[in-house]
Chain A
């Protein structure tokens, strides 16, 4: 008795915009281009598997828990050395956080930003994502400086937020970079900011969406569903939601107590390092299945594990 099971295949009309970073002598990474949901290769094209970026900070982080800082050692003191090591650990993009520009973290300015971006650009040939300290005035100052230094290297600059996107978008336009549009876990706000950015003259292949990342146990489900909705909207033809998505997974997971707490935790939490790693990896795996195109991680072992999962999922 033969049973016929006709698997429903979705015929999506939309396609995620392709966004290119790097090139021009630098290694090139393209994300996006999907014509179906994450990793469903039986019904659509997934020309560019999601990529893993490693976070590098312009100043040695003071408060990283031991399992994390131990994995990097002295490289944390020097962004160039850190970026080199990140390359060896398999980073496909370096995500440079200009943390020291934060008023509480040193309040450095354009000069420091220029120096650090130059150092990292010189140290590695990977494409760069450059993030400000998420304080609007400082973001404008350091990202504009970074934009100039990186002219021609097609880096991604962010965050562009609803109240503060013009200056950074203008820098992206002037220097040929990509803007990261960040909104607080809300599909309509994400779409609206994309529209504003395109109105300023950016082309759709110059925008990455940062939907805001909730860590496992700390709002993951909100990011997960907003990303699924954005991707579905994009695939059903809404071009203003069809941007590749970007998640700062490492930053969000490593600040939760499950990852930070050395001792005094309930025995049911289990061994610290393994728990902390899984916290980062499972957050990444969850969001990749919701449509993330770039996950930024912190721990080298997470990078290895998540990359392996992406390879398995992409058949590469």
Chain B
């Protein structure tokens, strides 16, 4: 949250000595607030004032990194309550919990399965982000064995769920991977904080008895010097998770309340009766403010929709997802199947693709690069004209894909028909319906093979 000029002014000497080259301290403060000059231009700033100003300029939600290599999880540093106000920046890490009571071979298999899970959407490869390994046995050597088992299986970022005793025995080896230590509680916080400091690992702080108690706990741990903190407020069910995570986000963003200015870890499996409910609770938490989501159950049919949701919610509303230009297959089209053309605005693509998919006509869909604009907007902006469509037809060799050389144009740009036929000798241009939802009916009427 940027500081206002007045807030900065409060920390200045207020002597108006002009050495900063401004007539007054206040004038200088205003320029600093606009980021036009650095605060260091005032030579009389006390170290305390400088520290206070730097602290106040920190992001209201601390950015926490879990993991050390390419596949690390970075969460926090969000700036808004609602995605339309700007965007959500750091998608929650979705990790799956394994327990050290599971036989080693099974652990290996599951870790491998989770690490290699990948699904593709709009040209993006989506996957899970990490493993949570729980010392469910209570036996430190079992945790060490389990770690060894998952080691090398994709090397996903780790959440280590264990007490200080067990952690002390494994951290020497695993600390370079920067696992999240879960969790400092009322009883063990000093030992956990020491481990986090010694091994430079992020630390989760669990305190289920209310936000003030949690904040107090975080304060104590911060004072020990631990900075990378993840919160577990203990909210497990639908209602308490929504309310608690909303309150934490509001306190951080609207009150700049430091103790709760950290990402939150959730455990949807602990508040759910079955796998389906766990997925729904996780879905809520994707939309409403989780930083790390620990799933108890993994299955592809659960992971895929959750990852799709995360992609939706964390898309920058100012920059709509664009679809890669090219020729897309809907159903299993043959060379005699219809060929439609549209823009690469994702919503346009999805609405026409969805209609073609359910139309009963397997089809080809040629997607033009219109820089993410919809049909009419792109046309008005000169990014969806006859020349550009013709160029795309040639670029992706649509003429070799279909035998009929007929191209179905969106009805909203019917005016392009003549010009497009000139640009594409040998092609016939059909004017489709203006609305995507009518394409099925249009094909039924006009597409006879």
Chain A residues within 8 Å of B, Cβ to Cβ: 1-8, 39-42, 63, 102-104, 134, 185, 214-222, 224-225, 228-229, 232, 255-258, 260, 266-272, 274-275, 277-279, 281-282, 285-286, 289-290, 305-306, 308-309, 312-315
* B300 interfacial by beta-carbon distance below 8 Å: yes
Name the contact of A282 in the complex, choosing from B119, B305, B317, B351 (C-beta under 8 A). B305
- Knowing A5-B257, A5-B259, A7-B250 touch, does A217 contact B121 (C-beta < 8 A)? yes
* B379 interfacial by beta-carbon distance below 8 Å: no
Q: Can you list 15 A-B pairs with a CB-CB distance of less than 8 A? A: A3-B212, A5-B251, A5-B260, A39-B242, A134-B437, A185-B347, A219-B347, A221-B83, A221-B315, A256-B357, A272-B301, A274-B276, A282-B279, A305-B280, A314-B239
* B254 interfacial by beta-carbon distance below 8 Å: yes
Please state if A103 and B441 are interface contacts (CB–CB under 8 Å): yes
Shortest Cβ-Cβ A-B pairs, 4 listed: A270-B301, A270-B300, A275-B301, A312-B238
Report chain B residues within 8 Å CB of A2: 212, 216
Name the contact of B313 in the complex, choosing from A8, A185, A221, A256 (C-beta under 8 A). A221
In this complex, the member of A229, A286, A305 whose beta carbon has the largest number of chain B beta carbons within 10 angstroms is A286
Please state if B309 and A286 are interface contacts (CB–CB under 8 Å): yes
Report chain B residues within 8 Å CB of A220: 309, 312
- Knowing A7-B211, A268-B119, A274-B302 touch, does A224 contact B242 (C-beta < 8 A)? no
Report chain A residues within 8 Å CB of B315: 221
Please state if A275 and B284 are interface contacts (CB–CB under 8 Å): no
The prevalent SS among residues of B at the interface is helix
Bound CA span A222–B255, Å: 29
Report chain B residues within 8 Å CB of A267: 300
Please state if A257 and B357 are interface contacts (CB–CB under 8 Å): yes
> Which residues of B, 296-321, contact A by the 8 Å Cβ criterion?
299-306, 308-309, 311-313, 315, 317
Q: Using CB atoms, name the residue of chain A closest to B279.
A: A278
Report chain B residues within 8 Å CB of A257: 357
Please state if A266 and B119 are interface contacts (CB–CB under 8 Å): yes
Report chain B residues within 8 Å CB of A268: 117-120, 300, 303-304
Report chain A residues within 8 Å CB of B303: 268, 270
Please state if A309 and B280 are interface contacts (CB–CB under 8 Å): yes
Bound CA span A103–B437, Å: 13
- Knowing A40-B246, A224-B313, A312-B239 touch, does A3 contact B216 (C-beta < 8 A)? yes
Name the contact of A225 in the complex, choosing from B117, B277, B317, B354 (C-beta under 8 A). B317
Bound CA span A270–B238, Å: 25
Name the contact of B238 in the complex, choosing from A102, A256, A313 (C-beta under 8 A). A313
Please state if B312 and A269 are interface contacts (CB–CB under 8 Å): no
Report chain A residues within 8 Å CB of B287: 224, 286, 289-290
Please state if A260 and B83 are interface contacts (CB–CB under 8 Å): no
Bound CA span A78–B277, Å: 32
Please state if A282 and B309 are interface contacts (CB–CB under 8 Å): yes
Q: Using CB atoms, name the residue of chain B closest to A269.
A: B304
* B82 interfacial by beta-carbon distance below 8 Å: yes
Bound CA span A271–B302, Å: 9
Q: How many Å from the CB of A107 to the closest CB on chain B?
A: 11
Please state if A289 and B305 are interface contacts (CB–CB under 8 Å): no
Name the contact of A279 in the complex, choosing from B257, B305, B347 (C-beta under 8 A). B305
Beyond the given pairs A4-B212, A258-B304, A278-B301, 7 more chain A to chain B contacts, judged by CB atoms under 8 angstroms and listed by A's residue number, are A2-B212, A2-B216, A3-B215, A260-B357, A268-B120, A268-B304, A309-B284
Please state if B301 and A42 are interface contacts (CB–CB under 8 Å): no
Please state if B118 and A260 are interface contacts (CB–CB under 8 Å): no
In this complex, the member of B212, B254, B276 whose beta carbon has the largest number of chain A beta carbons within 10 angstroms is B276
Q: Using CB atoms, name the residue of chain B closest to A290.
A: B287
Report chain A residues within 8 Å CB of B219: 1, 3
